Amino acid sequence: MSNVIFRSIKTPVRKDLTWEEAWVGKDEGLIYCWEKGIEMSFENPELAARAVQGELIVLHWKGGAEKKLKKDSEDGTFNYLATWQGLRGEDLNFNLDKTLTLTCTKHNHKVIFKPYKALV
């Protein structure tokens, strides 16, 4: 059985959450990260446009870069991926049991997304 996280972009962003509501639960804060990405898209449309173009921009979580990295790939967290999907105006949608590799369109480097716990 897969462990899929999904939330439609049509779902309203939750407001005034407690810390526990935001970070404790089956999704471990991924929905909250996604909602923050949605809010960021309204606050910074230029940043959102760069994300829509496939750029893996610097966010609060490991996964983006300001310049080409020396290594061909790096690890990123699902927290980053959730925030990035929200910033792009996408549904929150990925499988927690699988890694996902994306290539930044600006710097042409690969980021391998894994659950945060796998990186600690």
SS3 30: helix
pLDDT single digits (tens) 73-99:
889 999 999 999 999 999 999 888 888
pLDDT single digits (tens) 23-49:
998 888 999 999 999 999 999 999 999
Residue 117 has pLDDT above 60, yes or no: no
Chain center to CA of 59 = 9
